[in-house]
Amino acid sequence: MPEISNKAVEMPASPIRKLVPYADKAKKEGRKVYHLNIGQPDIESPQIMLDAVKNFPLKVIEYSNSAGIESYRKKLLTYYKRYNISLDLEDIIVTTGGSEAILIAVMSCLNPGDEIIIPEPFYANYNGFSCYAGITVKPIKSSIESGFALPSIEEFEKAITPKTKAVMICNPSNPTGHLYSRKELEALKTFVLKHDLWWLSDEVYREFCYDDNEYVSVMHLTGIDQNVVLLDSISKRYSACGARIGALISKNKEVMASALKFAQARLSPPTFGQVGAEAAIDTPPEYFENVKKEYVARRNFVVEELNNMTGVFCPKPNGAFYCIARLPIDDADKFCQWLLEHYNHDNETVMLAPATGFYSTEGAGINEVRIAYVLKIDDLKKAMICLDEALKVYPGRVVNRETESVNG
């Protein structure tokens, strides 16, 4: 039998999805599973978006322009203008989800063997896309004690090698919920310009910034336009993950010309997704006001409940709808699987994402989990009870005197 490719072997499994078979088995056995493992909101998509797809007027579902439907791209200019991001039509390529935007960006900007510096923990698929492109992730660890703030520029300097060609951030962050400040971004800008690097900035959660904290885009910074590639998606903005519409944005003409060749190779992004996304730009402001209010309530509840559990520590995030919690456990992967295979509280259990999959450094995140607070409060209450009770009986519980003393 022929062997599969080395790249197929090296491709990492999704920490978010790899436990799905255990969740499916638990459900077949009659247990209720609260899914806090994946950023799939239960918020309804805007009605204006759903209506646009439902009332699609054409009789043929045609290919669109490889860069995306022109009317949608023109309307996107008005969307970004609301965030003080001024663009031209040729600065935008519509992609098949934010995932394709990331993949086309790394393929356009880096060569196989090049290195990209990313603060960890980071969105797990950055590892996967880097594997696709044959590039190496150089992680710089951020600290849970600091709320996963940007590591010092000295740490970035230590990671530089002749192969370093780019840095990448997610702002606000998946998986940590950290919202980078202007001061952090300005410091990183100086580093990027000093070493003449690409700066890939994943900003799909810009709608979800809390407590009056400022959203600062990499495109708000001056003097760095030619180094910047902005990555975006409608998945979380409109609770439309299945629409699979994203965007790759840059004012660097050479990057955009290169990216368009990759876009042409995959022909075009999904038609129905673009139709819905174009209509969704007219979503009333109160939709987002209500959604943000809901997420703040969920965040406040979950973070407070976690920090009230013995031995648990969770910093309060300022953006997105994720948090990372440190638990008194021996191994997050084992714990998350145990929750699904062997545990129930009143015939219910909870599904979490082991944080190990969001780190590139071996052994990092071993006692951390990512929690997506994407369920309504009533479900979150039950999920937190499940988690609290599970920690009391988990066979691999570890007593950490430092966190026990901090959290009771």
What CATH number should be reported for the domain holding residue 52?
Answer: 3.40.640.10
What is the Rg, in whole angstroms, of the alpha carbon atoms belonging to the chain? 21
The tokens for 365 are 């995140």
Rounded Cα distance, 3 and 12, in Å: 18
Structure letter (DSSP) for residue 280: H
Residues 20 and 51 in one domain: no
The tokens for 317 are 């995030």
Q: Answer yes or no: is 134 within a domain.
A: yes
Q: Is the dihedral of CA 362, 368, 373, 376 positive or negative?
A: positive
Q: Answer yes or no: is 21 within a domain.
A: yes
Q: Answer yes or no: is 390 within a domain.
A: yes
Q: Write out 41-105 in H/E/C secondary structure.
A: CCCCCCHHHHHHHHCCCCCCCCCCCCCCCHHHHHHHHHHHHHCCCCCCHHHEEEECHHHHHHHHH
Question: What torsion do the CA atoms of 169, 172, 173, 175 make, to the nearest 10 degrees?
Answer: -160
Q: Please state, in angstroms and as integers, the Cα–Cα distance from residue 379 to each residue in 33, 42, 383, 395, following that order.
A: 10, 11, 6, 26
* pLDDT, tens digit (0-9, with 9 covering 90-100), for 223-280: 999 999 999 999 999 999 999 999 999 999 999 999 999 999 999 999 999 999 999 9
Where does residue 100 fall: left (phi above 0), alpha (psi -120 to 50 degrees), or beta otherwise? alpha
Residues 173 and 296 in one domain: no
Q: 159 with 335: CB under 8 angstroms?
A: no
Residue type, 247: A
Residues 232 and 191 in one domain: yes
The structure tokens 């003393």 sit at: 405
Residues 67 and 191 in one domain: yes
Residues 201 and 92 in one domain: yes
Q: Is the dihedral of CA 26, 32, 35, 40 positive or negative?
A: positive
Residues 248 and 299 in one domain: no
What integer pLDDT is reported at residue 406 of this predicted model?
38
Using omega within 30 degrees of 0 as the cis cutoff, is the peptide bond preceding 172 cis?
yes
Q: Answer yes or no: is 1 within a domain.
A: no
The structure tokens 């129905």 sit at: 272
Q: Answer yes or no: is 13 within a domain.
A: yes
Count how many domains the chain has: 2
Residues 319 and 180 in one domain: no
Q: Which of 260, 280, 300 is the last residue of a domain?
A: 280
Q: What pTM does this model have? A: 0.94
Residues 167 and 181 in one domain: yes
Q: Which of 212, 247, 280 is the last residue of a domain?
A: 280
Rounded Cα distance, 326 and 150, in Å: 19
Q: Answer yes or no: is 272 within a domain.
A: yes
Q: 11 with 131: CB under 8 angstroms?
A: yes
What integer pLDDT is reported at residue 13 of this predicted model?
76
Residues 195 and 299 in one domain: no
Q: Which of 247, 280, 313 is the last residue of a domain?
A: 280
Residues 254 and 361 in one domain: no
Rounded Cα distance, 284 and 289, in Å: 9
What integer pLDDT is reported at residue 341 of this predicted model?
96
Q: Answer yes or no: is 87 within a domain.
A: yes
Q: Rounded to 5 degrees, what are φ and ψ at 34?
A: -90, 115
- Residue 247 structural domain: 47-280
- Stretch (H or E) spanning 285: helix 285-308
What integer pLDDT is reported at residue 400 of this predicted model?
61
Buried b / exposed e along 130-152 (16+ C-beta atoms within 10 A): bbebebbbbbbbbebeebbbbbe
Residues 140 and 267 in one domain: yes
Who's near 159: CB < 8 A, 6+ residues apart?
117, 138, 140
CA 156 to chain centre: 21
CATH code of residue 356: 3.90.1150.10
Q: Which of 197, 192, 202, 149 is nearest to 39 (CA)?
A: 202
Rounded Cα distance, 75 and 78, in Å: 5
The structure tokens 């950023």 sit at: 39
Residues 201 and 241 in one domain: yes
Q: Which of 199, 207, 219, 215 is nearest to 92 (CA)?
A: 219
Q: Answer yes or no: is 201 within a domain.
A: yes
What integer pLDDT is reported at residue 14 of this predicted model?
77
Listed as ranges, residues in the chain with pLDDT below 70 are 15-16, 400-408
Q: Rounded to 5 degrees, what are φ and ψ at 29?
A: -85, 0
